[in-house]
């Protein structure tokens, strides 16, 4: 599953012309913005995305073609980006998971008791993106 997450993140970042490099597994205390959603099925899973706010500003600016100052003027864009990344990952991932039937809507913040597979990526020169996948419950 880790490899599939890595490939999805690589493809997403290439679509906005940003380099990405796997930094390892596990959590990072700099996280300030997060979003998650449920992948429904015979076993409910959760996908979650998290990042420092500064990373969200840079990635939001790149994704929507705005300046970092424009994003700072509307910080909800950073939370929207986290939700959109979670949604894109889940939309690509759920058809590959045995017994999965669909996805829910993105929720702000982290899911209760996040765990499972947690991947850390360096995006661009200094941005951090964390993506996790676990079983609900």
Q: How many whole angstroms separate alpha carbon 75 and alpha carbon 79?
A: 7
Q: How many whole angstroms separate alpha carbon 68 and alpha carbon 51?
A: 16
Q: What is the arithmetic mean of pLDDT over 123-131?
A: 88
**pLDDT the model gives residue 53:** 93
- Can you list the alpha helix ranges (DSSP code H) found in the chain? 2-15, 53-64, 68-73, 76-93
Q: How many whole angstroms separate alpha carbon 95 and alpha carbon 103?
A: 10
Q: What is the arithmetic mean of pLDDT over 37-48?
A: 95
Q: What band does 137 get if pLDDT is binned at 50, 70 and 90?
A: low
Model pTM score: 0.90
Give me the architecture of the 2-135 domain, per CATH: 3-Layer(aba) Sandwich (3.40)
C-beta of residue 108 within 8 angstroms of C-beta of residue 79? yes
113: left (phi over 0), alpha (psi -120 to 50) or beta: left
Q: Is the pLDDT reported for residue 1 higher than 80?
A: no
81 Cβ neighbours under 8 A, 6+ residues apart: 56, 59, 60, 63
C-beta of residue 8 within 8 angstroms of C-beta of residue 123? no
């Amino acid at each position: 599953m880790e490899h599939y997450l890595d490939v999805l993140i690589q493809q997403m970042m290439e679509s906005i012309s940003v380099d990405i490099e796997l930094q390892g597994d596990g959590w990072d205390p700099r996280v300030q913005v997060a979003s998650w959603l449920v992948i429904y099925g015979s076993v409910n899973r959760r996908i979650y995305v998290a990042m420092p706010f500064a990373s969200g500003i840079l990635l939001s600016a790149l994704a929507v073609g705005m300046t970092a100052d424009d994003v700072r003027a509307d910080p909800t864009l950073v939370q929207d980006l986290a939700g959109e990344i979670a949604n894109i990952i889940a939309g690509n991932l759920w058809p590959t998971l045995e017994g999965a039937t669909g996805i829910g809507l993105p929720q702000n913040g982290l899911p209760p008791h996040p765990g499972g597979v947690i991947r850390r990526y360096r995006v661009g020169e200094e941005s951090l993106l964390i993506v996790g996948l676990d079983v609900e419950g």
